[in-house]
Amino acid sequence: MTRNSILQIILALLAGFGLGLAYSWLLSPVTYVDANPSLLRTDFKDQYRVVIAASYAANQDLTRARARLNLLGDSDPVAELSAQAQRMLASGEPFDTVRPLARLATDLQQGFASEPFTSTPIPAFNTPSAPQTTPTAPSEFEVSEEPTSTPPPTVFFEQTQLIPSSQETATPRPTFTPTSGPGSPFALVGQETICDPGMSAVMQFILMDGRRNQVPGVEIIVTWNQGEDRFFTGFKPELGNGYADFVMEANTVYNIRIVTGGAFVADIRTPICTDPNGAEYIGGVLLTFQQP
């Protein structure tokens, strides 16, 4: 075989390889039909998280919610939830939509469900004797029953369940509620100047219930002469469930209103701090609110 022939064979080999590659990458690429959630487009991942959080709000199954979030392949699911919650708030989504995300982020951070699982008056579609309040009860693993049998037509809306549930809340249960009621007023119990160059001009909030547990999801309104900002506690669970912050501007007076309970604090402004060299810089403020 001549040298020329060898060259022709190599060229033919390369040409064939190129054609094969073009066919497999461009004309007929591998098509995914069994994708996993980590491959979802970013906006669909956001939707997926919203549904996970909404599901968690219903069943309070933190293990399952964590497993579902892991499917999305986020390196830090808690940070991702918090970031998404803030993005949604910034885009004007109602807080009721965002709240489950914040709640899930908080609960993942602390490792347990912060709200006790409360039964909802779900109409038992055709299994009136099925347990409605404890979806993880071991007895429910018995799936041999035929769920579509014996549908009694009048048991769809057992409104009488509403009455006992409201009565239960009126019954004294001193050790059951981890947080104060949403309507309990917050009072300012601490106002500190933070002289830390890293927290310059940052107004920090910590909101606690009567047992000094931090409370997420509390709306705070900051107003000043040129505008207003609204935000919620709990969107930075790494800093605390009842934490929120706001960046101030120098020479501006701020008024604070805690929406829940109506606490009002006026005349907050950036403090002046001095570093060890005698140079002045703008400090931060830490406001601590607590329910009675």
* Positions that interact with another protein (CB under 8 A): 1, 5, 8-10, 12-25, 29-30, 32-37, 39-42, 44, 47-48, 51-52, 54-55, 57-59, 68, 71, 120, 122-127, 130-132, 134-137, 140-143, 145, 147
What residues form DSSP beta bridges with 208? 214, 290
Q: How far apart are CA 230 and CA 133, in angstroms?
A: 36
CA nearest neighbour of 248 among 282, 280, 220: 282
Number of Cβ within 10 Å of residue 137's Cβ equals: 9
Using the minimum distance from each CB to another protein, give the nearer residue, 29 or 227.
Answer: 29
Closest distance of CB 68 from another protein, Å: 7
Closest distance of CB 170 from another protein, Å: 22
Closest distance of CB 91 from another protein, Å: 17
| Distance spanning both ends of the chain, measured CA to CA | 96
Using the minimum distance from each CB to another protein, give the nearer residue, 136 or 191.
Answer: 136
Closest distance of CB 284 from another protein, Å: 39
Both tokens of 271, joined, read: 């403090």
Closest distance of CB 219 from another protein, Å: 20
Q: What is the largest CA-CA distance in the chain?
A: 99
What residues form DSSP beta bridges with 190? 288
Q: How far apart are CA 264 and CA 256, in angstroms?
A: 6
CA nearest neighbour of 207 among 175, 183, 247, 240: 240
Using the minimum distance from each CB to another protein, give the nearer residue, 137 or 170.
Answer: 137
Q: Is 122 helix (H, G, I), strand (E, B) or coil?
A: coil
Q: How far apart are CA 97 and CA 94, in angstroms?
A: 6
- The residues near 28 (Cβ < 8 Å, ≥ 6 apart) are none
Task: Provide the pairing of β-strand 284-290 with 202-208.
Answer: parallel
Using the minimum distance from each CB to another protein, give the nearer residue, 65 or 268.
Answer: 65
Using the minimum distance from each CB to another protein, give the nearer residue, 71 or 187.
Answer: 71
Closest distance of CB 46 from another protein, Å: 11
Using the minimum distance from each CB to another protein, give the nearer residue, 19 or 250.
Answer: 19
What residues form DSSP beta bridges with 217? none
CA nearest neighbour of 205 among 285, 281, 137, 125: 285
Using the minimum distance from each CB to another protein, give the nearer residue, 118 or 177.
Answer: 118
Using the minimum distance from each CB to another protein, give the nearer residue, 49 or 236.
Answer: 49
Closest distance of CB 30 from another protein, Å: 4
CA nearest neighbour of 240 among 211, 198, 212: 212
**Angle (CA) 98 55 161, round 5°:** 105
Closest distance of CB 131 from another protein, Å: 7
